Amino acid sequence: MTKIFTTALLCILLILGGISNCFAVNVTTIGLDPSLIATYLAEDESQNTEIINVVNNFIVSHIRPNMTDFEKEIEIIKYLVTTVTYDIDELLNDSYFINDSYKAYGALVNHKAVCSGYAKAFDLLAKTCGLSSIVVTGEAINSSSQNGPHAWNQIYLDGEWYNVDVTFEDPMTNVVLGYNQLFNNYINCTDAEFSKDHIRANGHSCQATKYGKKLVAYYLNTGLVDFNGNLDLVRKNYEQLILNFALTGQEKEMKEMVDKLLILGAKYDNNSNFIASNNDLELTTYVLTHLAAGEHIVIVVTGPNTQNTFSIDTGHWLNDYLTIPGKCSMQRIFSSDGKLDTRILIFKFG
* pLDDT: which is higher, 179 or 271: 271
Q: How confident is the model at residue 177 (pLDDT cuts 50, 70, 90)?
A: very low
User: What pLDDT band is residue 165 in, cutting at 50, 70 and 90?
Assistant: very high
DSSP codes joined into one string, 33-46: -GGGHHHHS-SSHH
Q: Would you state the pLDDT for residue 238?
A: 87
- Interatomic CA distance for residues 322 and 163, integer angstroms: 48
Highest mean pLDDT among 23-27, 30-34, 86-90, 216-220: 216-220
Is pTM beyond 0.85? Reply is: no
Give CATH 3.10.620 domain extents, the chain.
3-222
Give the Cα separation of 125 and 87 in Å (integer). Answer: 20
The string of pLDDT tens digits covering residues 197-214 is: 999 999 999 999 999 999
The predicted-structure confidence for 101-134, as pLDDT tens digits, reads as follows 988 999 999 999 999 999 999 999 999 898 999 9
Round the average pLDDT of the chain to a whole number and report it. 77
Give mean pLDDT, residues 284-297.
Answer: 80
Please state, for a pLDDT cut of 90, what percent of the chain lies above it: 35
Q: What is the DSSP letter of 124?
A: H
- Is residue 300 a contact partner of residue 287, using CB atoms and an 8 Å limit? yes
- Alpha helix locations (H) across 32-93? 37-40, 45-62, 69-83, 88-92
Q: Which of 80, 84, 4, 6 shows the shortest CA–CA distance to 38?
A: 6
Q: DSSP code of 64?
A: P
The more confident residue out of 208 and 27 is 208
Q: Does domain 3-222 have CATH number 3.40.210?
A: no
What pLDDT is stored for residue 270 in this prediction? 59
pLDDT at res. 106: 93
